[in-house]
Structure 1
Amino acid sequence: MVRDTLAHTHLHMRLRSRIVPDWVGSRWSPDIFPGAPAFAAGIDREQVAAALPGYDLGRELGAGGFGQVFEGWHRGLQRHVAVKVLYTRGHGAQIDDLVREARLLARLDHPHIIRVYDYVHAQAGDLHLIVMELMAGGPLSRRQQTMTQRAACAVGLAVAGALAYAHSQGVLHRDIKPDNMLFDAVGLLKVADFGIAKLLSGVSGGRNTVIGTPLFMPPEQLVGGSLSPATDLYALGVVLQLLLTGGSAVEATLSPSPGPRPDSDHTGLLPRALADPLRDVIQHALEADPAARPPTAHAFGLALATAAASAFGPGWLTQSAVPVRLEDDIRAAAEPHAGSAAPVPPAPLPPPRRDTPVAARRGDALGAGRHARPRARLALPRRRILAAGLFAVAGAVPAGYLLAAALTKDPGGGVADPLGVLPQRHTDWILSLRFSPDGMILASGSKDGTVRLWDMTDPAAPRSIGGPLPGRSPGVTSVAFSPDGNTLASANWDGTLQLWDITDRASPQSLGAPLPAHAILANSVVFLDRGQTLASAGRQETRLWNITDGAAPEPIGPPILGDTDWPRLVVVDRPRMLLARVGENRTIRIWDVSNAASPHERTRLVSGHAGAVHCVAFTQDLRLMATGGKDATLRLWNTVDLARPEMIGKPVTGHHNTIWSVLFSPDDRIVATASYDGTMGIWNVEDPEHPRLEGMVPSGQEGWLMSLACSLDRAAPVLASGSQDGTIRLWRLTGTGSDQRS
């Protein structure tokens, strides 16, 4: 039976890889496929915007035979969305598909199924619109060639969970493929495009129209036979096969029959290094007879979780860097040693490998559809935002229209290799991270009101230094080390500042009671003047403090009045002492504080950002400044003349949500950013007029990235990212240095 299954699967991989590659479904061409509809050129953006008065309509994300997908921003909820628009004239059947998809998605509530927020029929222009989640991480098809085996198995568990839920609701997907599996901004995979899904009550016991993508169809679907949940499981088996083989197409002569062929040999399709339990699970899903496949998607997920745990050992799910939401029994099978009381600290990741799925790949010129990656150091697949749930193709493609599968690998190594997640986590947002000047200690401040210290002597095996530092606040917004590394300061949600003596890092001591520095909120804190002065930012003012006696800080002069909520401070102590402040009103202010008693404002700059400026950083020679903000753009400035900074080139794009943190490398060659979209951006700015995107690195953390810090080790700097989910992830930057400046 196994031999027959392998032969059958081999034949179909050969036949279907010649018929249609999986990327075709995102944009049909009438020149290649006669009878395919022309692109929807008649959609009027103004009519779409008028139909959605609560939204700002952004750029086009993709187009299909019957419509387009745009990025949108819900002003009231402050949320990015995807707006799927159907140009309806002459496409009544497709309207029915769209309405069915909206209703199906509205009733499917699962973390691994894309969410629909609204459906609108605009009489003007006869437009039908679905407002959906914006899947900023792009499709699985852009990552499939660089997936590790662990990541592939995590994807399998996520999709199996989504299918188990959909099947339980009486819905078959019928078009499971990498293009219909998309990642959101925080790296959570979701199944999309239920446009050709069908209720189970309508597919059992009868023949059906052949629709879907032939490459992923089981025999019964190819011949228009009866479909069942086993149909979706077969497609998932093909997806896992592609992930585990790097997406290589199988070359062979076409056969007119979809049935097994005795002289076919499947031996080489799955990697020889693949553990037998995993091989057996995938082969089970690829049985030619639907009755011989796993009985349910849940059963398949349980078998896959058990096999992966056996193959990879403890911690494999965390090491996969693919977040998943699992049923209790499947998580217990995937993490058999985790227990139920608390999460298990993740095992250190193995040495970096070229196929680690957290880096970006070499691409076309920046702004030409894919971002430029001329220094191909990241092992991440190309990132291109495609439409969530673009229309699937109805009807099988005639075998005469042959296309070669474009499944070749991109070259390049990695610049951001994951080291793992810190073993303990905060219970709320990580709002601030800082490395000590010697790089041996990482400090973290959280909305949970605590500050923690981490021993970074061996970044591959970091450890917590005791528990939270003495004292607690309603929330810690910022942490900073003194230049000698012996004092730590925090700014707090209640407007106070706290100082600790950390000379004995195993036993930090509070330096006096919390200092009531600001009336409402202390949002940022930095050290000045070799650690003798502290600067803190409140909502409407900046204050300087003499901390020669750390137990009794004294204010220096009157407050420096500001006009920016949620301010951030950055200090530059060479060649002169400068303090910069950014915030909600789009301005950048820079003071010379060489004489702390009499600060002198050097710059008051309207940034040009379309919204708040949340972060700023400088090169060591003060010749270049970088800013990031709510408009998701990075801007570079010539600051040779600090009184009149000039923006260099165009705003740099790549993120899809607020940029909250920015820093330069010690050699000033690299800019790194952290964004609410859950990614880190790495740009080479040796030529600031033509910055080169090295890669957009998905953090694998949940929620917004709230903080970013980097050690000062030029040879092998360590990057730390803090997220809304309370976790801190470490990365090794290779081939570049990084400095912490924001």
Structure 2
Amino acid sequence: MLVDRARVEAALPGYELGEQLGAGGFGLVLAASHRRMARDVAIKVLAGAGRVGDELAPGLGEDRAAAGIASEAVILANLDHPHIVRVYDYLEFDDLRLIVMERLSGGPLSSHLNVLGGPRACAVGLAVASALTCAHGHGVLHRDIKPENMLFDAARLLKVADFGIAKLVTGPEAMASAVVGTPLFMAPEQMAAGRLSAATDLYSLGVVLHLLLSGGTAAVNGSAVVPPVVWQDHLAARRLLPDDVPAPVAAVVLRALAEDPAQRPASARELAMELAEAAAGSYGSGWIARTGLVLYLDEAVRSVAERESPSPLPRPPAAGAASGESAAGTPVVGTPDPDGSASGAAAPDLPAPDLPAPDLSARDLSARETPVPGGSQTPRPGAARRKHRAPAVPGKSGRGLNRRSLLIGVPAAAAVAAAGVGAAVAVNRARDSTPDEPVLRPLGEPLPGHTGWITSLVAFPDGRTLASGSSDGTVRLWDVSDPAHPRGMWASPDLGEGVLSLALSTNGYQLVSGHWDRKVRMWNVRDPENPAEIAIRLPAGRDRVTSVSFGDDPRILVCGGQFGEVRIWNVADPTNPGQLGLFDAVQNTVGTVPSVADSRQGKITWVRPTLAPYATLVVAYDGEAIQLWDLPALDAPSRIPRPLRGHSGEVHGFAFSPDGLVLASGGKDLDIRLWDLTNATDPKTLGKPLTGHKSRVWALAFSSDRNRLVSGSWDRTIRLWGVENPAAPRLVAKSGTDHKDQLLAVAFAPDGRTVFSGCKGGEIRVWDVSGHFAGTAP
């Protein structure tokens, strides 16, 4: 049946409908935007029954199709993983069935098959394997893994989508009730309507990896063939792996394509471990960073994928590659392969994949053409991602989204246990360091240029750019691609009033600064060598702007003030920003802030309200305790009743782990505390306070893998902590060279190998922490 847009609008009055994104036998997909939250979504509408896209679904009637879309909503609501598309709402309206989900504007993987190359093919494999590990752990078989169902979001993060024919199973295997799927990617047992298992999805992933490694060519096209022909084509494909595919990588792909499910990897995680090891050995150290793709991996897989390797393995010889046998015992020196890897030498940086710029609406700010590389946005592996999610209940409208329902939904013990997988139990060090403690050494001389306090540092996700803000009234950009020899790229004109805070949008396009004069300024940093100022017109608030943060939607900007004022803005049009929310985190007022700031009799001198990842929480110190503010909707903040108590003085420094489940805080009492926010309505202390600094702790930052924390103190030192198990944190190292003045800012590089620090004396230092990875003995 045809879908009347007016009926969809009546079903979803809170959304403004846009263009049609796709259509098929299942119905259609429409672009839309939430009117109040300025969030772009895709709306999947059931428009009929019968054939579902390219899947073979004989006899699929209306009732079954309706049940299928409801099932997809329930499945997606319970699969909370950064490599799986997020669902926001499900509702039934007359005979319409609608799913509201995130819009993935970077395009499907199928449009990039011939441009990714070997390392990126492996990165895609790790991303999908990570998603399947989550799905299979919840008893869900996808049954239609293919490039068309893998899409990039606006930040070029790959996500698995379309769980419309996914199957819920209660044991290790299940019988197929019908032959459904896309023939080219179906396993033999799926074609035969036999017993399905996790190995069925792994076979499909093996076919995808083959296509990527072979440049996207496929001898057979989709559903026009009968299963035996497809299987014969798979056998031929195994013999057609290009000679330049490294033997270890080829062996992983061939194992996934085994005809017998028992001969395939036992789980998606096992496949990920094998692929991570093969890629690390084949493409050399730092191969993930060079792909330019964002990956969310658990600790064990990431550790294997990022292990130190002096050089990539040589290309396998032509003979033997088809059999899948390793040729690692016979090094062959050859010329660089198409991915840029040369035998016997470290692999050079890979060119950026030719992914299209995001298809953003006219309200979106300008976008650069290259993807945001992995690292800085990577949350703790295996942790729940809690962005704007409410459980989908078939038959009910979920338009009143409440992120808190998701915050409550994950047991705290599970998050702590996941964080501690594979980590040795460690104990906290004593307050005073001992002579044998490892020390951090600075790389080269301090960065010259600033003449005032270094108040903020931001490392860009490209791994090459660092932004610094100073009380001297300038913002500077530095090229730190060679951390031992950084160079200045750009300095803003003197802005007249000191810079107090910096933030980079999640898409990496806009840099924002908060100032002493209560103003906010913005730059387009698409070209870091030549940024262009954007004329943002935010009305000045009551307080000096001590913190600025972007939500995961780059149009959402949160500004925090010196005495607790928090304003939430839609800056899609910087010349005409819209205020979405306003509250005072100290005086507990919503919708307005008192005209006179409350210093609580001198207990508050410098509040720095900080936004959690995915815009779920704001944290601030109110003079008595740390307060959390929940954002069930951006225009409806509410203070969580239970404060975080433990510090004995003013709290200045906050840092959320990349997944938002752990909060670090530090302040005047010299201690650093970790808090479990898995259930944000009932936060809990993690482990003992981290001690050792001899003056107040002002700055904190987590590494992208959430395994390490760096702290900066007025004692002029930085300290590196291992927090791979946040319930048992430990000191890893401290700076062996003091800054010349009090530390005010710290930041990790995206790859976690470098730390940047800035002090009150205008000095910025670069530190090599690559020898102090979490989990290594000090």
* TM-score normalised to structure 1 length: 0.47
Which entry has the higher C-alpha Rg, 1 or 2? Answer: 1
Higher relative contact order (CA 8 A, sep 6+): 1
* TM-score normalised to structure 2 length: 0.45
